[in-house]
Amino acid sequence: MFDLVIIGAGVSGLSTASYFASKYKKWQILLIEKSSHHGRGISSRNSEVIHAGIYYPKKWLKSRLCLEGNNLLYSFLEKYGIPHKKTGKIIVAGNDQQETAIKKIYSNAVSKNVNGLELMTQNQVRMLEPDVKCKMGMYSSESGILSTERYMDVLLSIYKGDGGYYLPETEFKSVNNSGNKMNVTLHSGQDGESQIATKYLINAGGLNATSISENAGFTQVPNVYYCKGHYFKVHGVRNSFSHLIYPVPDKTYLGTHVTIDLQGEIKLGPDAVYMENNIEDYSEYLSEKSSFIESVKGFWPKIDNYEVVEDMIGIRPKLYSNDMNAKDFIIRDEAEDGYPNWISMYGIESPGLTASMAFGPYIDREFFSNTR
Ligand SMILES: Cc1cc2nc3c(=O)[nH]c(=O)nc-3n(C[C@H](O)[C@H](O)[C@H](O)COP(=O)(O)OP(=O)(O)OC[C@H]3O[C@@H](n4cnc5c(N)ncnc54)[C@H](O)[C@@H]3O)c2cc1C
């Protein structure tokens, strides 16, 4: 009998497991992961950017948890010596329309008390990044980059150190209610099917979060739309930017940006291409290099001097397709389907990495504190 079972060892499951194991020392907690290694899903295929919480509407979870997560994450990375860098970021406008959009983004962010923002003239941007061409820009000092792999390794080892149980190669199969506990069926390659019981359960299954809930028999599961983000690497250039450079976002994603990693290498992307099927397939590039370069060229004309090669693909579990308005994360209990102690995390796309350390405290405050 466990107090809490968590499905999925990506950043959401790992940070949540580690929060509860350290806060409730007497709880028996089990984290399960279907793969042989933690963090090989969405969490290992992203930009590794620590966002400042600039874009989303004030009341959205994406906004609140990103702001809270940003602070918690920097403190955690400092405390455990995990490689990271507060690089700062510049959003650039190339024309009047984009300038108006940036000013709107700026006032929205200021109204949410996002720290470290400054509107900049073309010359001010050039002083920071001589290769960037723009009409004006917005600077954010609280944006940065981290080693996600190291972050996840440290979370897992802290969790285990606090007495948490971890089972890789173990998949959630089904659940049924029995009094005030849930009986959960798991499947592992080694042991086949097994049954456990738990009081609480958190579904942090990333791309599979909705199918896990469907397997549980829930009837109100939101639709998910897989959306590929392709990356390209720029060869033969290193340390030519010291900030992250972003265009003005559109309604579905932040725009093809220039990211630097901790070694100073430059990556372009991701773009956003909806997939026809919700299949976790990373093999096929659905984007053309040329159109990709074209979208960056507006603010980085020197891109033409370099060789650009395919790098990697990530997939977002979006809760909206490209003809719908953007939607917030959904983190909710499944009381409507008779499971008040089952918490589902749906649509954990960007800024989920930044928000990850805020998920555990949020779930504790919203769902667990009244029932204990
Ligand atoms: C292209 C791209 C760029 C991004 N860039 C950024 C960024 O720069 N900054 C930022 O803050 N966020 C970013 N994000 C978002 C961020 O990466 C995600 O929000 C975060 O990694 C989601 O983590 P997760 O733990 O919810 O999912 P995952 O990492 O996918 O973890 C879910 C885990 O559940 C496991 N699982 C699935 N089904 C089962 C089952 N039945 N039983 C057991 N285990 C199961 C999976 O194997 C997986 O390991 C980006 C995302 C993408 C796709």
Do 164 and 219 fall into the same domain?
yes
Q: Which atom of ligand 1 is nearest to the CA of 316?
A: 53
Q: Which atom of ligand 1 is nearest to the CA of 40?
A: 49
Q: pLDDT > 70: what percent of the chain?
A: 98
Q: How far is CA 203 from CA 60, 342, 346, 369, in A?
A: 20, 7, 9, 18
Q: How many domains does the chain have?
A: 2
Residue 81 domain-assigned? Answer: no
pTM exceeds 0.95 for this model: yes
pLDDT band of residue 251 (cuts 50, 70, 90) is low
Distance in Å, CA 41 to ligand 1 centroid: 5
Q: What is the pLDDT of residue 371?
A: 63
Do 230 and 306 fall into the same domain?
yes
Residue 66 domain-assigned? Answer: no
Q: Which conformational region is residue 119 in: left (phi greater than 0), alpha (psi within -120 to 50 degrees), or beta?
A: beta
Distance in Å, CA 318 to ligand 1 centroid: 12
Best mutation site among 145, 232, 245, 349 for ligand 1 pocket (most ligand atoms within 8 Å of CB): 349
Distance in Å, CA 145 to ligand 1 centroid: 17
Q: Which atom of ligand 1 is nearest to the CA of 351?
A: 11
Alpha helices in 204-324 (DSSP H): 209-215, 289-297
Residue span of the structural domain in which 193 resides? 2-45+149-223+328-368
**Cβ contacts of 284 within 8 Å, gap of 6 or more:** none
Q: What is the pLDDT of residue 369?
A: 80
Q: What is the pLDDT of residue 291?
A: 82
Give SS3 for 7. strand
Distance between CA atoms of residues 214 and 212, nearest Å = 5
Distance between CA atoms of residues 150 and 32, nearest Å = 19
Best mutation site among 19, 42, 228, 287 for ligand 1 pocket (most ligand atoms within 8 Å of CB): 42
Best mutation site among 37, 43, 260 for ligand 1 pocket (most ligand atoms within 8 Å of CB): 43
Whether residue 252 is predicted with pLDDT greater than 90 in this model: the reply is no
Pocket of ligand 1 (CB under 6 A): 7-13, 32-35, 40-43, 45-49, 51, 171-172, 204-208, 212, 229, 270, 314-316, 348-354
Q: What is the pLDDT of residue 231?
A: 95
338-348: burial string, b at 16+ Cβ within 10 Å, e else: ebebbbbbbbb
CB atoms under 10 Å from CB of 326, counted, come to 18
Q: For the segment 93-114, what is each residue's pLDDT rounded down to a tens digit?
A: 999 999 999 999 999 999 999 9
Q: What is the pLDDT of residue 276?
A: 93
Do 179 and 137 fall into the same domain?
no
Q: For the segment 31-58, what is each residue's pLDDT rounded down to a tens digit?
A: 999 999 999 999 999 999 999 999 999 9
Do 236 and 218 fall into the same domain?
no
Best mutation site among 273, 350, 362, 363 for ligand 1 pocket (most ligand atoms within 8 Å of CB): 350
**Cβ contacts of 51 within 8 Å, gap of 6 or more:** 66, 70, 143, 350, 351, 354
Residue 274 domain-assigned? Answer: yes
Residue 53 domain-assigned? Answer: no
Size of the chain, expressed as the number of residues it contains: 372
Partners of residue 201 on adjacent β-strands:
5, 342
**Cβ contacts of 139 within 8 Å, gap of 6 or more:** 88, 89, 90, 116, 117, 118, 119, 120, 124, 125, 128, 243
163-179: burial string, b at 16+ Cβ within 10 Å, e else: ebebbeebbbeebeeee
Q: What is the pLDDT of residue 328?
A: 98
Nearest CA to ligand 1 atom 34: 8
Whether residue 179 is predicted with pLDDT greater than 90 in this model: the reply is no
Q: List the CATH number of the domain containing 164.
A: 3.50.50.60
Residue 79 domain-assigned? Answer: no
**Cβ contacts of 79 within 8 Å, gap of 6 or more:** none
Do 158 and 233 fall into the same domain?
no
Distance between CA atoms of residues 229 and 274, nearest Å = 9
Q: What is the mean pLDDT of the chain?
A: 95
Asked whether the beta carbons of 154 and 83 are under 8 A apart, the reply is no
Whether residue 310 is predicted with pLDDT greater than 80 in this model: the reply is yes
Q: List the CATH number of the domain containing 124.
A: 3.30.9.10
Give the mean model confidence (pLDDT) for residues 164-179: 96
- Write out the two tokens for 321: 């397709």
Q: pLDDT > 90: what percent of the chain?
A: 90
Q: Which conformational region is residue 48 in: left (phi greater than 0), alpha (psi within -120 to 50 degrees), or beta?
A: left
Residue 70 domain-assigned? Answer: no
Do 171 and 308 fall into the same domain?
no
- Write out the two tokens for 205: 């299954």
**Cβ contacts of 11 within 8 Å, gap of 6 or more:** 39, 43, 148, 151, 152, 155, 352, 353, 356
Do 202 and 280 fall into the same domain?
no
Distance in Å, CA 180 to ligand 1 centroid: 30
Whether residue 269 is predicted with pLDDT greater than 80 in this model: the reply is yes
